[in-house]
């Protein structure tokens, strides 16, 4: 069995999630290749060594370029702040290595375009971390829509809100800088836009409004010095889909009480389907003639679920979704699948997000194809 060397850049929350996913994929699935956790990199060399030891990586690097140059690394997983995605991915592609990058793909549409073109020219496998789409319930929702169970789709209403920036005294971080992040639209909304495209299809035009609610934040925790904030705290947009459906999306990182509220309702001429990531193991389904919504619960009949639990109602979690995403990546690398969001599809999400920003800035409808 061919060995595939995994190199992981970053040791924060997402770095740990990737490490767990690669370890879990080896344990849960019968993969067509042998995964070897070859190397881990972090700018803090001591932390890199500590995490490599704890997470099972054979080698630690204090420099990400050294990891890319490591001949034992075949796949480069990038879990760093957004502004580092571009140089790291481009270096990995230039080295002929597969890239598994966290979302959003880049901090500008120009960067995203260069990344997808470079990957295409090099012929390397790429994937981007839109892991919520790998939920077996989301896959089921897509199948139901494709099979016409809701009839012709007429509307998509989506929201992704959290409250981790709701406190105005929360200090400035890299997420608050335009050149490094992109605000709530990039951080949360990109997941929602990707989900809308996955379930309903291409968006052709948008109209939008964005707002920075807290224009100043402490430079550091407890600091009397403030820093100006230029990124959006919340965004609301209207969508027109290529299939004629209409939609709304909203995203906020200020909404008190919500922790992972990626939700949507999709309505058609025969019914409505609803989902909330905070209850990720169920769908709510209404068909014509029913007295009310039916609760559809996840179970082992759904592809992916049975790998973790043989019984319905026992539920999957965030890390299982990440593991399912890694499985699809490995299958693609083995030439046995094409599921998941590659750089081309992620560029489409970035183009849609850019159209929303233009629409908000210029206060008009914007055709996505013109961006």
Mean of per-residue pLDDT scores for the chain = 97
Query: Would you identify the CATH topology of the domain 3-131?
Result: Rossmann fold (3.40.50)
CA trace torsion 334, 119, 64, 28 (10° rounding) = -30
Residue 138, pLDDT score: 98
**pLDDT above 80 (res 1):** no
Choosing among 3.30.360.10, 3.30.750.24, 3.40.50.620, 3.40.1350.10, the CATH entry for 134-312+341-370 is 3.30.360.10
**Which of 120, 9, 110, 116 minimizes the C-alpha distance to 57?**
9
Rg of the chain over Cα atoms, rounded to whole angstroms, equals 21
**Which of 302, 267, 264 minimizes the C-alpha distance to 281?**
302
**pLDDT above 90 (res 24):** yes
Residue 197, pLDDT score: 98
Same fold across 3-131 and 134-312+341-370: no
What is the arrangement of strands in the sheet containing 98-101, beginning at the earlier edge strand? 59-61, 34-41, 3-9, 75-78, 98-101, 126-128
What is the spatial distance between Cα 114 and Cα 55, in angstroms, rounded to a whole number?
A: 33
Mean pLDDT across the stretch 270-286?
98
Q: 143-201, pLDDT tens digit by residue?
A: 999 999 999 999 999 999 999 999 999 999 999 988 888 899 999 999 999 999 999 99
Residue 348, pLDDT score: 98
* Entry pTM: 0.96
Least confident window among 85-94, 118-127, 178-187, 229-238: 178-187
Instruction: Enumerate the domain spans of the chain.
Output: 3-131, 134-312+341-370
Q: 243-277, pLDDT tens digit by residue?
A: 999 999 999 999 999 999 999 999 999 999 999 99
Residue 316, pLDDT score: 96
The vertex-356 CA angle with 121 and 238, nearest 5°, equals 125
What is the spatial distance between Cα 303 and Cα 139, in angstroms, rounded to a whole number?
A: 9
**pLDDT above 90 (res 337):** no
Q: 42-97, pLDDT tens digit by residue?
A: 999 999 999 999 999 999 999 999 999 999 999 999 999 999 999 999 999 999 99
């Amino acid at each position: 069995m061919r060995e595939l060397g995994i190199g992981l850049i970053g040791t924060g929350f997402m770095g740990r999630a990737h490490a767990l996913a690669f370890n879990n994929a080896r344990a849960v699935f019968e993969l067509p290749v042998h995964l070897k956790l070859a190397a881990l990199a972090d700018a803090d060399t001591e932390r890199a060594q500590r995490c490599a030891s704890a997470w099972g990586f054979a080698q630690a690097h204090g420099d990400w370029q050294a990891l890319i140059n490591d001949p034992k690394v075949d796949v480069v997983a990038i879990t760093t702040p957004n502004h580092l995605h571009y140089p790291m991915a481009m270096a990995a592609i230039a080295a002929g290595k597969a890239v598994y990058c966290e979302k959003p793909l880049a901090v500008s549409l120009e960067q995203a375009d260069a990344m997808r073109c470079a990957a295409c020219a090099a012929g390397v496998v790429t994937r981007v971390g839109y892991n919520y789409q790998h939920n077996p319930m989301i896959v089921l929702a897509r199948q139901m829509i494709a099979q016409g169970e809701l009839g012709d789709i007429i509307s998509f209403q989506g929201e992704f809100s959290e409250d981790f920036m709701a406190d105005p005294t929360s200090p400035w971080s890299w997420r608050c800088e335009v050149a490094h992040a992109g605000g709530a639209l990039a951080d949360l909304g990109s997941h929602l836009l990707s989900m809308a495209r996955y379930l309903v299809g291409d968006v052709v035009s948008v109209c939008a409004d964005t707002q920075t609610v807290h224009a100043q934040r402490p430079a550091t925790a407890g600091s009397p010095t403030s820093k100006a904030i230029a990124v959006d705290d919340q965004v609301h947009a209207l969508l027109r889909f290529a299939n004629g459906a209409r939609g709304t999306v909203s995203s906020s990182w200020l909404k008190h009480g919500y922790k992972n509220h990626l939700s949507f309702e999709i309505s058609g001429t025969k019914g409505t389907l609803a989902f909330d990531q905070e209850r990720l193991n169920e769908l709510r389904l209404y068909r014509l003639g029913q007295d009310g919504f039916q609760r559809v619960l996840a179970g082992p009949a759904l592809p992916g679920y049975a790998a973790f639990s043989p019984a319905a109602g026992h539920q999957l979690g965030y890390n299982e979704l990440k593991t399912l995403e890694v499985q699809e990546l490995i299958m693609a690398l083995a030439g046995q699948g094409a599921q998941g969001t590659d750089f081309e599809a992620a560029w489409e999400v970035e183009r849609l997000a850019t159209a929303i920003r233009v629409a908000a800035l210029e206060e008009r409808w914007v055709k996505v194809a013109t961006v």
